[in-house]
């Protein structure tokens, strides 16, 4: 089945995470980045610059439901390839924060390899201030796009 352009605008539910120092340090350690700014809890630590992917992953997985509603089968969604990732960080992420992330599909278009789907991932803090924002493109190889707007 084709991916329909009416998928544009679909949003996931908010995904909420409480970030703690242990999670921030574990992520940095998994990358073997032992920078004291990420690891030394005798001082104030902050998240590694790529840590937001941890917050975004559940929202990214939730967009699969939107593509299914738009006509794609599970086999077609499995053809998705991560093509681009443009992360914008507005302030450091610190321990003991409660952050909320939501994905919005902002573009669907046909390209030579298949269907290109662009989503925007927004992460806000408890004051509703944007902490980070990612634009990510997935390409579904061999999947056509059907315009129904």
Query: Residue 92 sits in which domain range?
Result: 7-20+51-146
What CATH code is carried by the domain that includes residue 65?
3.10.129.10
Residue 87 domain-assigned? yes
Provide the whole-model pTM: 0.92
In this structure, is residue 36 part of a structural domain?
no
Q: How many domains does the chain have?
A: 1
- Residue 99 in any domain: the answer is yes
Q: What is the pLDDT of residues 124-137, one digit of tens each?
A: 999 999 999 999 99
pLDDT over threshold 80, residue 149? no
Residue 58, domain member (yes or no): yes
Q: Is residue 57 part of a domain?
A: yes
Domain-located, residue 43: no
- Residue 71 falls inside a structural domain: yes
Task: Write the pLDDT tens digit of every residue in 38-94.
Answer: 999 899 999 999 999 999 999 999 998 888 887 788 888 888 899 999 999 999 999
Q: What is the CA radius of gyration of the chain?
A: 17
- The answer as to whether 112 is a domain residue is yes
């Amino acid at each position: 089945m084709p991916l329909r352009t009416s998928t544009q605008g679909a949003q996931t539910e908010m995904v909420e995470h409480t970030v703690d120092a242990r999670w921030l340090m574990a992520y940095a350690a998994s990358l073997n980045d032992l920078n004291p700014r990420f690891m030394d809890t005798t001082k104030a630590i902050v998240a590694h610059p790529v840590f937001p992917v941890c917050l975004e992953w559940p929202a990214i997985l939730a967009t699969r439901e939107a593509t299914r509603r738009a006509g794609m089968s599970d086999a077609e969604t499995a053809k998705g390839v991560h093509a681009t990732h443009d992360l914008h960080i507005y302030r450091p992420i610190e321990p003991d924060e409660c952050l909320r992330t939501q994905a919005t599909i902002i573009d669907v278009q046909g390209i030579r390899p298949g269907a290109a789907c662009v989503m925007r991932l927004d992460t806000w803090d408890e004051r509703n201030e944007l902490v980070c924002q990612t634009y990510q493109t997935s390409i579904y190889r061999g999947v056509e796009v059907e315009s129904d707007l």
